[in-house]
A and B are shown apart, each in its own frame.
Chain A
Amino acid sequence: MIPAAFDYVAPKTLDDALRELAARGEDAKILAGGHSLLPLMKLRLANPKVLVDLRKIPGLTGIKQEGNKLVIGALTTHYQIESSALLRRKCPLLNETARVIGDVQVRNRGTIGGSLTHADPAADWPAAILALAAELELAGPKGERRIGAENFFLGPMTTVTEATEILTEVRVPAFSTRCGSAYLKMAQQASGFAIVGAAVWLRLSPKGGCEEIGIGITGLSEKPFRAHAVEQRLRGNKLTAKLIDEASSLVADGSDPLEDLHAAAGYRAHLARVYTRRAIQEAAKRAVG
């Protein structure tokens, strides 16, 4: 657990940070909360030549409402999200997700932006931001660009973020009336990461049908994904137990479930179905309540 030697810079502005990244290219790694990167460095699985610490840059931390959107700075810690009163009113799926990430120490230091760009296939945030159809704002040498959550993840530990870019904020829709959400996961006992996690956001019609729904799945396969087949089955329909059951059974279709010491592929796929079903039921219950 001893890292190799590295340089460290802590730019004071976003532009300085971007210049630093442009200059150092692949040699540089961004330090946000450090709770994924530093363990990798201590194991010498990551050996960056320079760490660009973003924590001195003002404006990357915090949660605010802009119209019907909630904007979460990339350096906002899991704990800040877990404890945000604004989110509890306007987007409780984020509080609920943050609450089950790692442990207290991880939540106090780890950041949403760090976790998303690290793109561990078993991380919790991807499920939530996929369910919410979040937009991610990337700053780069050529200006800013906005990426939908579904286009953000490319595979395990890879996203569309270029080595010269910095994720600056995550934008999610504020809940309106008749919205409900839930995040349920089976945690791997040792790491706390999701063996499978299912995040559901939905809005009911005044008559109680499913007007809109988003389902994000993490842990099941190499890349978190949005469960379109399940959503389509439910959208526009009344959420009966039978329909939820049928729809959830589709969640793992076409996926290539991961297999490891903790869960075989078949068990993971099964868990995805169970957790998806339960998360939909819970979200629907909360939308009514």
Chain B
Amino acid sequence: MPVSKSVGARVKRREDPKLIRGLGQYVDDINLPKTLHVAILRSPYAHARIEKLDTGAALRLSGVVAVCTGPELEDKIGTLPTTADNPTLKIPAHHVLAIGKVCFAGEGVAAVVAEDRYTARDALDLIQVEYEALPVVSDPEKALTPGSPVIHSEFTDNLAFSWKHEQGDLAKAFKQADKIVKQRLVHQRLAPIAIETRAVLARYLPEAKELTVWSSTQIPHILKTHLAQLLKLPENEVRVIAPDVGGGFGCKLNVYAEEALLGYLALTLNRPVKWIEERRENIQATIHGRGQVGEVEVAVRKDGTILGLRYKVIADIGAYHQLFTPAIPPFTGLMLSGCYKIPAMSIELSAAFTNKMSTDAYRGAGRPEAAYVIERIIDRVAQELKLDAVAVRRRNFPKASEFPFKTATGLAYDSGNYQLALGKALKLAGYEKLRREQRKLRSRGRYLGIGLSTYVEICAMGPGFWEYGKVQLEPSGKVTVFSGASPHGQGQQTSFAQIVSDELGVALDDITVVHGDTGQVARGMGTFGSRATAVGGIAVYHAAEQVREKAREIASHLLEVDADDVVFSDGRFSVKGVPKKALTIQQIARQAQETGDSSGKTAPGLAAEYQFEPSNFTFPFGTHICVVEIDPQTGNIAIKKYFAVDDCGKVINPLLVDGQLQGGIVQGLGQALYEGVVYDENGQLRNGSLLDYAVPKATNLPRLRLSRTETPSPVNPLGIKGIGEAGTIGSTPAIVNAVIDALAPFGVTHIDMPLTPQKIWRLCQGAKAAVAGGRR
């Protein structure tokens, strides 16, 4: 039976039937006999010395098996890891439970292990802690001013690290400029709010010497390596399983205290232990994203040509480094050129310790900040020079012929055609007509706003991060694919099967994709940075290719012709010119299992593994256009229309790409309009639950009109780029630009996110008052 070409087809997600019927297996669905339950006592103070910690009463509660505190674990569990290739980096000891003092509200102070969750929770109330409050450092800018209280006494200040980049003659650029446009921009902290909070289950089998940790993680293999180090175990005695994972968005690209703690408890108590994070803990003690305050300054000619850009930014990294904390803000610096030719650039980044939860990777991870800076300042330039926002963008785009395009930040964008995507989006939106409508409505006192963002992002991490794939043809002719990527919603059980289906000519239903278990998949890195398909998929592709070529060799022997004379098509190897003389790949699989090719030249079995590391990152791009209407009386924003033309190179499955974009755009909308973790000056969370922390709801969503251009990437054989984060990166500036465009008649030039109705109403009021005052 001929197998139709699968890559490029809108194949429905194979993972969904199980998930939408509630048959997924998340960590909390896994019930092992005699499991104990863990609850964590967390600090109510943002910064305090622990004067007394008495766990006696908790330990005496019936059903409590153990209570442990930081000092008891100091020698048992290592300190939590972080990436450390920045020479300026200061790394404070980050223990799994606080020792001596706490540095943010929500830091773990003690852990209770009990027969059930209820008892564990009850016991928390019996732990007595006396704190002596210390001065709190909540604001990252103040944290870096001389005289600020210092959070970590082993250092002289709160500067966690710095990062600088300069290229081109900036002084000359600013001297030659017709205009200098400046803007201060705040990228508020966001809570990732995966639907499934973090969850860990750990079991130790002493006879087998196997510690198995089930964790809701994006990186089982990386976690395994770190857990072995943290718990001082040989790596081959640790197995990490990521079962179904209910969303990550970067917040599960980490090594958390609880993962190490549960591993330790399983080892020492000889019973399985489980911890399911509560939603309030999730907002307190799971990493936050964004958290930067910067000032951008651009030197422009009056025709809109950008001559130079300067950006000074402070990153609020929280009290400790989590796994990739120091790596995220530099991404903002690297991507600050956006999709524009900017000959001279200078970026100065300072990262501040504050008495808050750590920031780390959250969907986009540094790139949404960059896109926001450059897309906002482009709009400010247009506003200042009274040019159309489209014209300023077009003026500064590199031409399609200039790729690979080198930026002043030192990157080489792999491929692109920014004019094409912009043009298509303008046409899709009916841009000129929208502008006419805007003018008409304004004259009637209605405020329509049209916002653009022409973004580019860096993904498919990338050089330095390989991915592993293995393809195995079973004797039955079925195919098992093993991937080191760890999909948790991205749909690679479908897209990887599509890739392999085309390479081997095997039906999708005959392909199983295995991932998320270090006991089943030899090596891996995981799913983050929009890399799973563009790196992991390529590893799978090459492995499939090798399997096919080995099958061809066996076929050539069995068909008694040269390998060059064997034609492969739709899963059949046939003799060139004699199509009836053929063997299916399934027939070869059986033969291979038994004897290889019986010539002794090829080993038995039909499997191949491949580790792919790309030579460069990929740079997806696109144009988003948002149309809003503002009600100046209430400040309410209605999103009337949303158009997106995205280019992620070649597309394996358009349905998956659309899904990633829809989710991404909505998350970007959340940052633009609703979200923001608010700490007060005492480091207390003011919106630490979903009653107060606002995420987008289904009823808030605009109808999205999605389209694509397809500029293949040269860095991998499938020409794919990655689409996991593009929506989030492209949407936020488009929405903010639209709102500010709507408010132009009120003289508004910028509003910091989230654009709440209250802020908008105030600005409209202020403008009205100014107008009234002018009349007097």
Contacts and interface: CB of A to CB of B under 8 A. Distances in A.
Contacts of A274: 633-634
Given A186-B757, A191-B692, A270-B761, A5 B118 contact: yes
Given A5-B122, A103-B697, A262-B692, 7 more contacts: A1-B279, A2-B117, A4-B122, A189-B674, A190-B695, A261-B687, A267-B762
Contacts of B690: 190-191
B694 A263 contact: no
B691 interface: yes
Nearest to A263: B758
A12 B674 CA distance: 45
B142 interface: no
Interface in B264-285: 278-280
Nearest to B680: A261
Contacts of B758: 262-264, 267
Nearest to B761: A267
Interface residues of A, number: 21
B701 to A, nearest CB: 13
A271 B279 contact: no
A190 B117 contact: no
Interface in A200-237: none
Interface string A250-272: 00000000000111100100110
Contact of B693 (A2, A190, A264): A190
Closest 10 CB pairs of A and B: A189-B694, A190-B694, A2-B121, A191-B691, A1-B278, A267-B758, A189-B674, A274-B633, A190-B692, A261-B686
A62 B122 CA distance: 39
Contacts of A3: 118
Contacts of B756: 262
| A-side interface mostly | loop
Contacts of A1: 278-280
Interface in A26-74: 43
A197 to B, nearest CB: 13
A229 B756 CA distance: 31
B692 A261 contact: yes
A190 B278 contact: no
A5, A188, A271 — most chain B CB neighbours (10 Å)? A271
B145 to A, nearest CB: 26
A167 B674 CA distance: 37
Given A1-B279, A261-B686, A262-B758, A186 B636 contact: yes
B385 interface: no
A5 B61 CA distance: 14
B34 to A, nearest CB: 20
Nearest to A191: B691
Contacts of A267: 758, 761-762
Interface string B363-407: 000000000000000000000000000000000000000000000
Interface in B752-768: 756-758, 761-762
Contacts of A271: 634
19 contacts: A1-B279, A1-B280, A2-B117, A2-B118, A2-B121, A5-B118, A186-B636, A188-B694, A189-B697, A190-B674, A190-B694, A190-B695, A191-B690, A262-B692, A262-B756, A262-B758, A263-B758, A267-B761, A274-B633
Nearest to A193: B691
A259 to B, nearest CB: 11
B691 A190 contact: yes
Nearest to A271: B634
Contacts of B687: 190, 261
A204 to B, nearest CB: 26
Contacts of B678: 261
Contacts of A264: 758
A274 B758 CA distance: 13
Interface in B618-649: 633-634, 636
Interface in B83-127: 117-118, 120-122
A240 B687 CA distance: 42
A184 B674 CA distance: 21
A224 B213 CA distance: 52
B753 to A, nearest CB: 13
Nearest to B673: A189
A274 B634 CA distance: 7
Nearest to B197: A1
Contacts of A191: 690-692
Contacts of B633: 274
B284 to A, nearest CB: 13
Contacts of B122: 4-5
Contacts of B761: 267, 270
B533 to A, nearest CB: 34
Interface in A262-289: 262-264, 267, 270-271, 274-275
Interface in B232-272: none
Interface in A1-28: 1-5
A103 B693 CA distance: 16
Contacts of A189: 674, 694, 697, 700
A267 B633 CA distance: 10
